[in-house]
């Protein structure tokens, strides 16, 4: 178990995690997961989500934890990762937090992510003769 600072300054651990992200080092998974759940440092928790997402180690539970975080920085990182994660629970949580989100930028990002997930790109292109017959 890692020791996280009560004053919310986990910059020493942040440096380790930044280096692990840069080197795509998967051995810091425990640090990132414990940091997400137990650190008081907003920036560090955000980096934990980034690390887990970048290295495809993130779970549905981790994303939901990030979406529920009190820190806007952490929520924004979780929303960014949620865009690429297929999960009804995550999508439901995104929809739920729309009603409580106070920050307009964060709300716009949530709506964008939900919109992107709902776009159906499987459509037939109309031919020019179809358009002239339609008019």
The Cα 91–Cα 96 span in angstroms is: 9
Q: What is the pLDDT of residue 118?
A: 66
130 confidence band (pLDDT: 50, 70, 90): very low
Spatial separation of the C-alpha atoms in residues 45 and 50, rounded to whole Å: 9
Percent pLDDT > 70 in the chain is: 86
User: Distance (Å, rounded) from C-alpha 79 to C-alpha 72?
Assistant: 10
Encode pLDDT of 61-103 as tens digits.
999 999 999 999 999 999 999 988 888 889 899 988 888 888 8
pTM for the predicted model, two decimal places: 0.80
Residue 117 pLDDT: 66
Residues 81, 12, 38, 97, CA torsion sign: negative
């Amino acid at each position: 178990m890692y020791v996280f600072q009560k004053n919310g300054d986990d910059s020493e651990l942040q440096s380790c995690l930044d280096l692990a992200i840069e080197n795509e080092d998967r051995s810091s998974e425990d640090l990132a997961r414990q940091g997400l759940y137990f650190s008081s440092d907003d920036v560090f928790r955000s980096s934990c989500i980034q690390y887990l997402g970048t290295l495809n180690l993130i779970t549905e539970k981790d994303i939901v934890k990030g979406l529920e975080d009190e820190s806007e920085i952490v929520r924004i990182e979780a929303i960014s990762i949620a865009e690429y994660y297929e999960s009804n629970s995550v999508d439901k949580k995104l929809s739920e937090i729309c009603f409580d989100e106070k920050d307009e930028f964060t709300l716009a990002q949530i709506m964008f992510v939900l919109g992107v997930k709902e776009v159906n790109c499987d459509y037939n292109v109309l031919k020019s003769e179809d358009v002239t017959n339609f008019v």
